[in-house]
């Protein structure tokens, strides 16, 4: 899909509009143009470039809506949060899809589509500095929030009862940058929506949530308010269909659900540190090996980190060794003569993973097929098959990772494993293994997203002449 619109197409459409005394409905304008212009923010909860394709919940929702209209998606990222709504109000963008909170002041500038997510704002503090429990404990502290965000309004309302409460509104930062400033001690506190924090906290393990600020708020797409209702009606129908079919929950869960589990503070802190101190020495080998077997390099790197923390000399009590923690048998199978040689280990681990992937039935769709392969790499294909058979016997779907994931731990219970072909297994381990690998992949994707954006030369598109 092309993400950048042709300037010629924009100019031609603007000239067309200029000849009309009464412009057609906005949806027709979009379909005539052949492009849906969506402004968003670059971030893990909105839109970012993965190794091979764009990712993010807002991107997936916008892409689906463009397909619903039968047009191409042109998505571009605002440099600052406060730029989102003026782009829509001025007609430069058709939609702002960036986790925008509905507020009364914003309703004066744009109209909103249906609510698709409810979130809570939380005060963020640095671990070790004492967890505040009330606004009174914030007096005299450096509080910084994003300028133009709904969090400013929350603080203004709180200040009516706590006049000693002060804060700074920063127009030049992102939510992630504010969390980073709290984590490194540059500021004392900030306010962040919980759905954002639960994802990016793995990058900033020194930051924690203290208490909820204000009431729950609603997220929705921002739409132009001074035109006809055709776009709002199509957006409403689109989200109604996604809700009815369960697709909206599936999209959101792909990005958020696994972060609602317990947070591994020590492990996440070490991972972020090792990205800088260890990964650079092996990154090129991960990239080359991944290209050979047709997967993204971040996946191989994440699996290696789960195995050894990128330590080429790692050894387990059972004798598996090296950065990919290969057994002697596996090393011989994939042509590795020296398991502690990091390049050999990475290449051998990739070849073995490719063998495992080929065993997974081709009928299983992605991404479930990939999760099965990762689990089999950890626990063995035979035990995975036992869990799939058990899943089917209990009425679950053996081709769906979520269903099999629930049954894998049962392989450690005698009443279940005594009826399986391969017997006992530490069935909870592949569950944690896949969960951790998926988290590590997400962090690696996000931390390399800026490089990907520069490599693709993604910039905001040329302005669209207002049509009203």
Catalogue the active-site residues. Answer: 307
Nearest to 223 by CA among 466, 25, 460, 39: 39
Residue 292 is classified by DSSP as H
How many CB atoms are located within 10 Å of the residue 165 CB? 18
Q: What is the DSSP string of 138-162?
A: GTTS-BEEETTSHHHHHHHHHHHH-
3-state DSSP: the chain helix, strand, coil percent, rounded to 5?
50, 15, 35
To the nearest 10°, report the CA torsion of 443, 286, 308, 203: -10
CA 450/CA 430 separation, integer angstroms: 31
- Rounded (10°) CA dihedral 261, 264, 270, 271: -10
DSSP conformational letter for 361: -
Q: How far apart are CA 102 and CA 107, in angstroms?
A: 7
What is residue 256's DSSP assignment? H
> 202: how many CB neighbours lie within 10 A of its CB?
22
Contact 194, 209 (CB under 8 A): yes
Q: Which residues contact 357 (CB under 8 A, 6 or more apart)?
A: 293, 369, 370, 373
Can you read off the two tokens belonging to residue 81?
């949060």
DSSP 36-87: EEEEE-BBTTTBEE-SSSEE-HHHHHHHHHHHHHTSEEEEEE-SSGGGHHHH
User: What residues does 119 pair with on adjacent strands?
Assistant: 217
Residue 6 has a CB neighbour count (10 Å cut-off) of 14
Cα–Cα distances in angstroms (integers) from residue 332 to residues 116, 130, 317, 329, 348, in the given order? 52, 53, 20, 5, 9
Q: Give the contacts of 205 (CB within 8 A, at least 6 positions apart).
A: 183, 263, 265, 266, 268, 269, 272
**Alpha-carbon distance 68 to 240, whole Å?**
13
CB-based contacts of 341, cutoff 8 Å, min separation 6:
312, 322
């Amino acid at each position: 899909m092309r993400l950048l619109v042709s300037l010629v197409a924009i100019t031609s459409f603007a000239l067309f509009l200029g000849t009309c005394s009464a412009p057609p409905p906005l949806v027709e304008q979009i379909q005539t143009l052949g492009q849906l212009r969506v402004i968003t923010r670059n971030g893990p909860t909105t839109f970012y470039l993965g190794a091979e394709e764009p990712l993010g919940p807002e991107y997936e929702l916008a892409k689906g809506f463009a397909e619903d209209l039968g047009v191409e998606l042109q998505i571009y990222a605002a440099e600052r949060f406060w730029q989102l709504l003026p782009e829509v109000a001025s007609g430069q963008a058709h939609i702002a899809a960036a986790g925008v909170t509905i507020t009364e002041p914003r309703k004066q500038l744009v109209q909103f589509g249906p609510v698709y997510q409810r979130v809570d704002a939380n005060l963020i503090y640095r671990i070790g500095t004492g967890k505040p429990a009330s606004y009174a404990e914030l007096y005299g502290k450096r509080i910084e929030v994003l300028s133009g965000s709904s969090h400013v309004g929350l603080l203004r309302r709180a200040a009516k009862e706590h006049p000693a409460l002060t804060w700074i509104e920063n127009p030049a930062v992102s939510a992630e940058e504010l969390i980073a400033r709290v984590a490194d001690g540059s500021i004392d506190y900030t306010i962040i929506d919980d759905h954002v924090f639960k994802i990016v906290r793995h990058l900033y393990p020194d930051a924690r949530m203290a208490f909820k600020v204000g009431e729950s708020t609603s997220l929705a797409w921002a739409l132009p308010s001074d035109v006809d209702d055709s776009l709002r009606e199509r957006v409403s129908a689109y989200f109604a269909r996604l809700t009815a079919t369960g697709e909206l929950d599936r999209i959101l869960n792909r990005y958020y659900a696994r972060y609602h589990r317990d947070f591994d503070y020590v492990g996440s802190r070490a991972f972020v540190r090792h990205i800088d101190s260890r990964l650079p020495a092996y990154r090129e080998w991960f990239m080359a090996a991944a290209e050979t077997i047709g997967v993204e390099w971040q996946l191989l790197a994440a699996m290696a980190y789960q195995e050894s923390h990128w330590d080429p000399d790692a050894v387990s009590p059972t004798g598996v060794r090296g950065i990919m923690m290969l057994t002697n048998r596996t090393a011989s199978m994939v042509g590795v003569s020296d398991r502690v040689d990091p390049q050999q280990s990475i290449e051998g681990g990739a070849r073995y993973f490719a063998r495992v992937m080929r065993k997974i039935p081709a009928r299983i769709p992605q991404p479930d097929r990939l999760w099965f392969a990762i689990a089999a790499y950890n626990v063995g294909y035979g035990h995975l098959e036992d869990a799939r058979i058990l899943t089917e016997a209990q009425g679950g779907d053996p081709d769906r990772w979520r269903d099999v994931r629930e049954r894998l731990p049962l392989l450690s219970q005698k009443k279940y494993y005594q009826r399986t072909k391969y017997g006992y297994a530490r069935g909870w381990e592949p569950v944690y293994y896949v969960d951790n690998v998926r988290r590590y992949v997400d962090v690696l994707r996000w931390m390399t997203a800026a490089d990907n954006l520069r490599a693709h030369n993604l910039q905001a598109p040329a302005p669209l002449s207002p049509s009203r």
